[in-house]
């Protein structure tokens, strides 16, 4: 049946833009056509004034052959054919005169007019200054289907109504619900309008309960439960009855059995996206390069409410998979992230369309370094899969370009400091920050963001006319800083707050974080290593110089003589952060220090010992108790690994002793919680052995991808630390 006129009237402009519109040959009225053509023209003998919009007449479509015979006459088609021939001639002439540049490996061209094409990756001798950049998801050139999906999961009245009516306790619940097989995005949006479910700002309390019930009925009609778009699957290279060699080599019997149990958890965390299901899952387009082809589209999810893959989680998951001898799955995860970079220019926060507003700490080059290694016995040096590196390096450079964009909306910022050679002269340094220009709440935490913004800045609708614009601008700035904090992976922490206890003082984009710049230093060193291995000495020199420049910048801007370590830097007041954070010691993990300056390194170790971060249950993220999950007393697995690896990189007696102590502490904490619950958690309480983490926007999740990876790595690769 065709849609009624009432249905047509309720279609909003968004639908009219998203879906095709056909016109009757005689009338100027527009109508969305389904199986039949809707015509609003007057019948014979009627005038246009005699036909009301309620008098919709439906006439059956003529057969295809009949339509062509009646419409495609030579008289009508001749001008069209002449014009097409003329345009073709002009186009061929222009192409011969101004040919397009040839596409090179690793170079991606924007879909813009031919005369403005510019390659993203350059092979110049120096890294060029990037132009001012404002990240806008609308600039991603998303396909039409993804744009339509975003009208449900990322924006619009449907998202607002479901989230603000508090239909589900967790805002992430709705945006992870796939559409039923017998419905479509068009059907959902039209039915939402037809049922008049849009939530106004002044919904009476006595109508809110039945409104929520109607929303529930609507969702039951069109959506499946969250996560139904992902098929649980055992990774193909998982071997149930075979103990991985590294696990078999664990000397302690109890720890070996524990490691084997963690190895078996991979079969419960494997997921494969279902085909032909419409949902918020972010599908990556397969790369044509045979060396990057994924034989199986298997992903490893963290667990709990996190039903999709996440960027920086994957680094420690890959570590764990390699311990489990699941190299095929590990490389498949990395290739999936490479597909994202090839398509979007960066790796999104996670594998959902609503994560396209930000990335996460750029760990991809380190993951490539892990999966590209070739095992050879008695090898004198590390060897890599050359064909794989040749395919991967241009994509890694594309991601590096994303992070090095400058300007008001870019991740890279310039800072001036007195030159070390001549203090009277200024030296310009380039460092990085987290930033977002999404200008809206996080869809997966929509209600939480809107409520906090309203609590801080008041309701825009209720504001005086003169202050409404300022109120809305403050909210937008808050939303962007919240998303930038989510990009850091530390959502949330006092590191991003001017006032540690006031979410309204969020200023993430004004902070130059130590850990982000340490990670980018590692990326530059990795790119240098890859190019050198591929005999691209000029490119290797470029990234070697970039890494050296970043190390100088970190020492000039981030180093604090008072704290005797590196500190986050505030761009607004040009001061170091007063927050004591485990991030302060991430340059040790990145090896962004002078190994010959032993005295300075000992001062850093001394600073760590007396920082207050080291507790009996692990290393807490900060020493500030705010109720945020990335503050005290929580201890997160990635930070334990980075600190321990950093101490081992210093390679002194004191650092080695401390690394051994911290390794034993973390294994004791994780094992104690495992004994009590039989579960692995995303975070723990550093103030007690085996205690669960606290605070944040949700209850501590179990599973858990990166926790398993860190423990498996410590039990095998760093087993010597546990035995000494």
Angstrom distance (rounded) from CA 171 to CA 307: 14
The distance of Cα 712 from the centroid of its chain, to the nearest Å, equals 25
Region of residue 530 (phi > 0: left; psi between -120 and 50: alpha; otherwise: beta) = alpha
Q: What is the DSSP letter of 556?
A: I
Spatial contact of 259 and 715, defined as CB atoms under 8 Å apart: yes
Catalytic one among 487, 491, 524, 631?
491
Tokens of 719: 């087993």
Q: Estimate the share of the chain in helix, then strand, then coil, as percent rounded to the nearest 5.
A: 50, 10, 40
Residue matched to tokens 């001008």: 79
What does each C-alpha distance from 250 to 547, 713, 714 come to in angstroms? 37, 11, 10
Angstrom distance (rounded) from CA 333 to CA 344: 17
Tokens of 332: 């498949």
Q: What is the CA radius of gyration of the chain?
A: 29
Asked if 6 is an active-site residue, the reply is no
Angstrom distance (rounded) from CA 152 to CA 154: 6
Angle 555-526-583 (CA atoms, 0-180°, nearest 5)?
Answer: 45
Tokens of 558: 């981030």
Angle 386-391-397 (CA atoms, 0-180°, nearest 5)?
Answer: 110
Cα dihedral sign, 679-685-691-696: negative
Spatial contact of 457 and 475, defined as CB atoms under 8 Å apart: yes
Angstrom distance (rounded) from CA 548 to CA 593: 10
Tokens of 455: 């609590």
* 3-state SS record for 317-330: HHHHHHHCCCHHHH
Angstrom distance (rounded) from CA 168 to CA 170: 5
Q: How many C-beta atoms lie closer than 10 Å to residue 325's C-beta? A: 18
Contacts of residue 470, Cβ cutoff 8 Å, sequence gap at least 6: none
Work out the end-to-end distance of the chain between its first and last CA atoms, rounded to an integer number of angstroms: 77
Angstrom distance (rounded) from CA 713 to CA 641: 9
Spatial contact of 230 and 308, defined as CB atoms under 8 Å apart: yes
Asked if 682 is an active-site residue, the reply is yes
DSSP 104-172: -TT----SS-GGG---SS---SSPPPPPEEE--GGGG---HHHHHHHHHHTSSHHHHHHHHTT-SSSHH
Spatial contact of 260 and 243, defined as CB atoms under 8 Å apart: yes
Contacts from 606-611 at CB under 8 Å and sequence distance 24+?
A: 606/564, 607/563, 607/564, 607/565, 608/565, 608/643, 608/658, 609/658, 611/580, 611/584
State the catalytic residues.
491, 682
């Amino acid at each position: 049946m065709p849609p009624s006129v009432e249905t047509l009237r309720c279609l909003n402009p968004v639908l009219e833009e998203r879906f095709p519109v056909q016109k009757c040959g005689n009338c100027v009225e527009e109508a969305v056509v389904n199986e039949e053509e809707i015509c609003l023209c007057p019948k014979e003998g009627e005038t246009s004034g005699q036909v009301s919009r309620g008098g919709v007449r439906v006439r059956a479509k003529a057969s295809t052959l009949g339509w062509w015979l009646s419409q495609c006459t030579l008289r009508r088609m001749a001008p069209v054919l002449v014009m097409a021939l003329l345009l073709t001639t002009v186009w061929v002439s222009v192409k011969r005169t101004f040919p397009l540049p040839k596409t090179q490996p690793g170079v991606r061209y924007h879909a813009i007019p031919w005369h403005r094409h510019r390659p993203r990756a350059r092979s110049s001798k120096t890294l060029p200054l990037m132009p001012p950049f404002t990240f806008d998801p609308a600039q991603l050139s998303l396909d039409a289907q993804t744009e339509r999906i975003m009208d449900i999961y990322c924006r619009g009245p449907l998202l607002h109504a479901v989230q603000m009516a508090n239909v589900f306790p967790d805002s992430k619940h709705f945006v992870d619900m796939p559409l039923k097989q017998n419905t479509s995005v068009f059907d959902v949006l039209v039915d939402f309008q037809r049922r008049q479910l849009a939530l106004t700002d002044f919904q009476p309390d006595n109508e809110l309960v039945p409104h929520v019930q109607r929303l529930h009925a609507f969702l039951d009609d069109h959506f499946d439960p969250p996560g139904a778009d992902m098929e649980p699957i055992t990774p193909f290279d998982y071997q149930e009855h075979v103990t991985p060699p590294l696990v078999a080599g664990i000397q302690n019997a109890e720890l070996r059995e524990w490691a084997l149990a963690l190895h078996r958890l991979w079969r419960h965390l494997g997921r494969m996206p279902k085909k032909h299901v419409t949902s918020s899952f972010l599908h990556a387009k397969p790369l044509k390069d045979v060396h990057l082809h994924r034989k199986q589209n298997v992903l490893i999810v963290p667990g709990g409410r996190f039903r999709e893959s996440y960027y920086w989680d994957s680094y420690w998951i890959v570590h764990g998979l390699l311990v489990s001898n699941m190299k095929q799955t590990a490389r498949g995860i990395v290739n999936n992230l490479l597909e994202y970079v090839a398509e979007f220019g960066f790796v999104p926060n996670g594998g959902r369309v609503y994560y396209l507003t930000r990335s996460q700490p750029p760990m991809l080059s380190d993951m490539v370094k892990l999966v590209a290694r070739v095992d050879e016995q008695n090898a004198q040096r590390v060897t890599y899969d050359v064909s794989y590196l040749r395919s991967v390096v241009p994509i890694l450079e594309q991601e590096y370009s994303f992070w090095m964009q400058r300007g008001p909306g870019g991740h890279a910022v310039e800072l001036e400091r007195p030159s070390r050679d001549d203090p009277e002269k200024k030296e310009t340094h380039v460092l990085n920050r987290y930033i977002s220009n999404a200008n809206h709440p996080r869809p997966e935490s929509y209600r939480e963001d809107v409520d906090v913004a309203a609590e801080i800045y008041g309701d825009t609708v209720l504001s005086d006319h003169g202050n409404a614009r300022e109120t809305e601008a403050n909210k937008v700035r808050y939303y962007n800083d919240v998303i930038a904090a989510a990009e850091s992976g530390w959502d949330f922490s006092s590191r991003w707050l001017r006032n540690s206890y006031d979410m309204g003082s969020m200023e993430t984009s004004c902070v130059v974080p130590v850990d982000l710049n340490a990670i980018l230093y590692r990326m530059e060193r990795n790119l240098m290593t890859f190019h050198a291995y591929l005999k691209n000495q000029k490119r290797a020199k470029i990234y070697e110089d970039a890494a050296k420049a970043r190390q100088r910048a970190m020492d000039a801007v981030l180093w604090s003589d008072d704290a005797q370590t590196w500190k986050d830097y505030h761009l607004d007041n040009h001061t170091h952060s007063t927050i004591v954070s485990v991030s302060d010691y991430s340059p040790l993990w990145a090896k962004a220090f002078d190994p010959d300056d032993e005295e300075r390194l000992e001062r850093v170790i001394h600073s760590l010992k007396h920082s207050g971060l080291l507790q009996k249950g692990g290393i807490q993220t900060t020493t500030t108790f705010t109720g945020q999950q990335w503050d005290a007393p929580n201890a997160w697995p990635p930070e334990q690994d980075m600190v321990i690896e950093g101490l081992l990189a210093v390679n002194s007696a004191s650092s080695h002793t401390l690394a051994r102590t911290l390794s034993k502490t973390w294994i004791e904490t994780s094992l104690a919680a495992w004994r009590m619950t039989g579960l692995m958690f995303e975070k723990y309480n550093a103030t007690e052995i085996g205690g669960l983490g606290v605070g944040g926007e949700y209850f501590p999740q179990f599973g858990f991808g990166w926790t398993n990876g860190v423990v498996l790595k410590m039990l095998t690769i760093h087993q010597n630390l546990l035995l000494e």
